[in-house]
């Protein structure tokens, strides 16, 4: 478009040429009035634009003060930290609650009803059983009849326990027979039988519940349990021997 | 650490630059605020030898480009309800006709030409600083600046550009 370098022209408009090149360019521009007018217009444009923007800028902007911005950032960071903390707390509580509540969701232990029955009746000194052992065959026939199957009550005399008597209980699985044996020193052991729709795997096991120990097993649609004091060696001996005799 | 007083001194230039880019005073101040927030929380990323003003301009320009990209996405969704000239500067009583023309012409330049013209011609940034702020080589800055000046001049020569008086081409 002309013999003047465009980059140099821009630099001249922006006042970025040193004095010598500036004078040199001005001399050449003098010979080209059209270009000189254009350059002057560019300079004027820049001035006008700056002026227009200065006018259009709203006067005060307190929200843009650096101190205000810093405060806002600090508040935002605090809120974020708070949010993180509350989130962590919520997760923590959830985990804790889940851990503590895990027992509620777990399946009941096998033959847990036998242990409950022991707790309720074994400590009863007045009437732990409905039918005393004195009636002998009557007790066995009565329980077997209600249970719906023949029932041979084991003889625990060799372990020092005599048959005390028995009672019937109702469970969600059907009628349960609870039989107590008592030693000369007043300790009691229970033998518990009831129907069982399920046959858990494994079908035999021993469990400790506080001071009590329970040997349980399932066989042919029935669940069995022997419950007694865990600190008594006779209890464990009976528990080991009994499943094989039934 | 950035000195607050130094920032306060640069605030008018930042607001002018933002206004020239966004063309709406409210949007412009939002841009400045976003820019300052970023600068104050990321001041460690600033080159130690770089000029504070050029660094702030580059942050603000990037915020503007991002916001524009976002709003384009939104505008596509709301297309039928939005006019074709959103964010045009509302003329106020004290604005001269010339000032309105100047801002209208500026608004019709492509964003990258607008940013460059504002940085160099209005705020007096060095070419290299503008190149750094825009992330382009200095050669691009020079050719783009030349195009911006010529286009701006054409728009100003084309007569009044206020919406009510714009000629239909």
Residue A188 pLDDT: 94
Q: Do B100 and A63 touch (CB under 8 A)?
A: no
**pLDDT the model gives residue A1:** 43
Angle between helices A19-30 and A33-56 (to 10 degrees): 120
The tokens describing A35, both together, are 């270009």
More confident residue, B2 or A36: A36
pLDDT given at position A143: 87
So what's the pLDDT on residue B22?
87
C-beta atoms of B122 and A50 within 8 A: yes
Tell me what pLDDT residue A82 has. Answer: 93
Alpha-helix runs per DSSP H in A111-245: 112-121, 137-147, 233-245
CB B117 to CB A49 under 8 A? yes
The neighbour count for residue B21, using CB atoms within 10 Å, is 24
In whole angstroms, give the CA distance from residue A214 to residue A205: 8
According to DSSP, residue B80 is labeled G
Q: Residues, chain B, total?
A: 169
Classified as helix, coil or strand, A231 is: coil
pLDDT for B67 equals 86
User: What letters, b where the CB count within 10 A reaches 16 and e where it falls short, cover B57-79?
Assistant: bbbbbebbeebeeeeeeeeeeee
Q: pLDDT per residue over B71-114, tens digit each? A: 776 665 554 444 444 444 555 555 577 788 888 888 888 988 99
Among A11, A13, A66, whose Cβ lies nearest the Cβ of B36?
A66
DSSP A68-79: HHHHHHHHHHHH
Of B19, B40, B98, the CB nearest to A69: B40
Q: What is the pLDDT of residue A135?
A: 67
With CB atoms and an 8 Å threshold, state whether A55 touches B94.
Answer: yes
pLDDT of amino acid B107: 87
Nearby residues of A243 by Cβ (< 8 Å), 6 or more positions away: A204, A215, A217, A224
CA distance B24 to B88: 6
Q: A63 CB near a chain B CB, below 8 Å?
A: yes
Share of chain B above pLDDT 90, in %: 33
Computed over every residue of chain B, the mean pLDDT equals: 80
> At the top level of CATH, which class does the domain B4-165 belong to?
mainly alpha
Question: Rounded CA gap, A245 and B107, in Å?
Answer: 101
Residues of chain A with pLDDT under 50: 1
Angle at which helices B4-22 and B52-78 pack, to 10 degrees? 40
Contact of A45 with chain B, judged by CB distance below 8 Å, is answered with yes
pTM (2 decimals)?
Answer: 0.57
Predicted pLDDT of residue B159:
54
Domain residue ranges in chain B: 4-165
What pLDDT does residue B74 have? 66
Q: SS3 of A183, please? A: strand
**Is B93 in CB contact (< 8 Å) with chain A?**
no
- Reply yes or no on whether the pLDDT at B69 is more than 90: no
CA distance to partner chain A, nearest, from residue B20 (Å): 7
Q: How many other CB atoms are found less than 10 A from the CB of residue B34?
A: 18
- By CB neighbour count within 10 A (0-12 exposed, 13-18 middle, 19+ buried), where does B147 fall? middle
Count CB-CB contacts under 10 A for residue A54: 14
Q: What is the pLDDT of residues B114-153, one digit of tens each?
A: 999 999 999 999 999 999 888 899 999 999 999 999 999 9
């Amino acid at each position: 478009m002309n013999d003047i370098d465009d980059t140099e022209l821009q630099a001249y408009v922006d006042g970025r040429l040193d004095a010598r090149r500036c004078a040199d360019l001005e001399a050449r521009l003098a010979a080209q009035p059209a270009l000189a007018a254009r350059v002057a217009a560019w300079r004027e444009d820049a001035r006008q634009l700056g002026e227009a923007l200065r006018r259009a800028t709203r006067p005060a902007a307190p929200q843009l003060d650096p101190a205000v911005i810093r405060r806002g950032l600090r508040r935002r960071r605090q809120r974020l930290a708070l949010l993180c903390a509350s989130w962590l707390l919520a997760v923590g509580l959830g985990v804790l609650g889940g851990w503590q509540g895990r027992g509620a969701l777990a399946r009941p232990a096998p033959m847990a009803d036998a242990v409950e029955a022991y707790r309720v009746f074994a400590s009863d000194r007045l009437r732990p059983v409905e039918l005393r052992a004195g009636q002998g065959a009557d007790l066995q026939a009565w329980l077997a009849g209600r249970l719906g199957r023949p029932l041979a009550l084991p003889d625990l005399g060799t372990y020092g326990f005599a048959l005390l008597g028995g009672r019937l209980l109702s469970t969600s699985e059907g009628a349960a027979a609870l039989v107590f044996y008592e030693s000369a020193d007043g300790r009691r052991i229970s033998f518990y039988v009831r129907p069982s729709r399920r046959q858990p795997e494994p079908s035999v096991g021993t469990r400790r519940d506080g001071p009590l120990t329970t040997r349980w097993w399932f066989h042919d649609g029935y669940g069995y349990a022997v419950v007694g004091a865990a600190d008594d060696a006779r209890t464990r001996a009976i528990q080991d021997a009994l499943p094989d005799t039934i | 650490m950035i000195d607050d007083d130094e920032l306060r001194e640069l605030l008018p230039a930042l607001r002018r630059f933002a206004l020239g880019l966004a063309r709406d005073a409210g949007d412009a101040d939002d841009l400045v605020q976003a820019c300052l927030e970023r600068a104050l929380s990321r001041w460690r990323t600033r080159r130690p030898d770089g000029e504070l003003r050029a660094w702030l301009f580059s942050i603000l320009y990037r915020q503007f480009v991002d916001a524009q990209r976002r709003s384009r996405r939104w505008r596509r969704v709301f297309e039928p309800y939005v006019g074709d000239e959103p964010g045009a500067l509302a003329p106020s009583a004290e604005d001269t006709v010339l000032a309105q023309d100047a801002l209208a012409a500026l608004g019709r330049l492509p964003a990258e030409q607008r940013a460059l013209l504002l940085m160099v011609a209005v705020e007096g940034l060095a070419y290299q600083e503008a190149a750094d702020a825009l992330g382009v080589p200095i050669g691009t800055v020079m050719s783009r600046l030349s195009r911006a000046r010529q286009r701006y001049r054409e728009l100003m020569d084309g007569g009044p550009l206020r919406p009510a008086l714009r000629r239909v081409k």
